[in-house]
Amino acid sequence: MASPIVHFEICVTDLEKSRDFYANIFGWDMKFDSGMDYVEISTGSEPGGGIFRTKGEMKPYVTVYMKVDDINETIEKAKQNGAFIIAEKTKISDEHGYYGMFADADNNVIGVWSSA
């Protein structure tokens, strides 16, 4: 089965400024989650996304998340094909499932997501 895009994220230096920027341009509904220092984006259709603040040496970036059946298997396939692994399978929360991340040969960040 092909892996559909299920989420996107925009990593920024100024969370409030970026939230307003994208809301004003695209008309997206934004909901700030102070516990996660994260802005949930509702685009009006799927996929939705989020905006979060850079930390430490992290540079701003945009990534998309693909839904997969098995994150560990997908991360292993990425390794076998030369990817740099950014995050092994990591729990987000009971409600939001799990994610993993890797970078391709051009340093494009790709996320994978699953509910289990």
Q: Is 37 left (phi over 0), alpha (psi -120 to 50) or beta?
A: left
How confident is residue 79, by pLDDT bands cut at 50, 70 and 90?
A: very high
C-alpha dihedral sign at 55, 108, 29, 18: positive
* 1, pLDDT greater than 70: no
d(CA 33, CA 101): 22
pTM for the predicted model, two decimal places: 0.84
**Co-location of 56 and 38 in the same domain:** yes
**Co-location of 87 and 110 in the same domain:** yes
**Co-location of 73 and 112 in the same domain:** yes
What pLDDT digit, counting tens, does each position of 22-73 carry? 999 999 999 999 888 999 999 998 899 999 999 999 889 999 999 999 999 9
**Co-location of 2 and 27 in the same domain:** yes
Q: Which domain holds residue 21?
A: 1-63
CATH number, domain with residue 105:
3.10.180.10
Domain count, the chain: 2
**Co-location of 59 and 100 in the same domain:** no
